[in-house]
Structure 1
């Protein structure tokens, strides 16, 4: 895959709040780390029946099968690479041509920080101040792509921008209600 002329990097995360529900955000940045597009979902609140039926797989379902695909499909800007901080997001690798990488330094799961033994079958690629975990079959493509993003000031910080933007959107909704 040749390097795109205007590569973009996406950042995807989901926030779970007992009061509001599950809200996903997707921030797309240019080579220098500036925003190109932002999308977020309205909060998703599973019913008690959903919680019972999905059980321990609810988190996997919401992040990797509901919220993530919805946000990616809404994007108008083509992404070269999609970075995530939740292991459940790696399910997006099977849904398209965009390589999906888990950033080790930002990754957290239900049980706390993600460890390398939880990511068997993943290759590690360096991006600025972060380690990307990518499926072995996508490692060569990602290694070629990260060279386009060497000017980014920080590869982890965009997740905080998403969380802040979601909190701001939620507070605006609360004020309007």
Structure 2
């Protein structure tokens, strides 16, 4: 997909599959919700040693410190905002090169269940079309400005489904090739 100078918003999620592992996807959309760029990782399969050493923090590590930064770094399109559906992704704020990262509450709750207050300490609420974004207080005004320019976006939750479907398709192509 071609690079653009237009204002864009990225959606990031990670899919776990017992057989293949952890696969991340980053979908960059223009203001009308059309794809500008898509990045996808190969499945990440932590070793048993990683599982032991990271313990209960393995998921946090894979989503927020390995897969997310890798996809953002690979992205060729300038991004104004990264929307995520997993609270572990909020740690991307420190590695996203100043790009604000927001948790899409409705998508996160569909994926993870109720989002507890301790996950969102120091977060501000911003509306984006039909969604509630939780963003760090220091990025709230920037995210409000970006959200106000995405009024043509039809649905702020649905892009996560596109990523998941694209990952499933990529995994099925890999399975057919092997």
1:49 alignment counterpart: 49
1:176 alignment counterpart: 177
SS in 1 for 2:72: helix
Gaps of 5+ in 2: none
Equivalent-residue separation in structure 2 for 1:111 and 1:129 (angstroms) = 19
Equivalent-residue separation in structure 2 for 1:74 and 1:120 (angstroms) = 30
Shift of 1:31: 0.2
1:127 alignment counterpart: 128
TM-score w.r.t. the length of structure 2 is 0.93
Q: Could you tell which deviates more after superposition, 116-125 or 144-153?
A: 116-125
2:142 alignment counterpart: 141
Taking a change above 3 Å as real, the CA distance of residues 43 and 55 of structure 1, as seen in their structure-2 partners, is same
2:59 alignment counterpart: 59
The number of equivalent residue pairs is 173
Residue 46 of structure 2 corresponds to residue 32 of structure 1: no
Equivalent-residue separation in structure 2 for 1:146 and 1:122 (angstroms) = 16
Shift of 1:147: 1.0
C-alpha RMSD of matched pairs (Å): 1.5
Residue 85 of structure 2 corresponds to residue 82 of structure 1: no
Gaps of 5+ in 1: none
1:103 alignment counterpart: 104
Question: 1:87·1:109 contact (CA, 8 Å) conserved in 2?
Answer: no
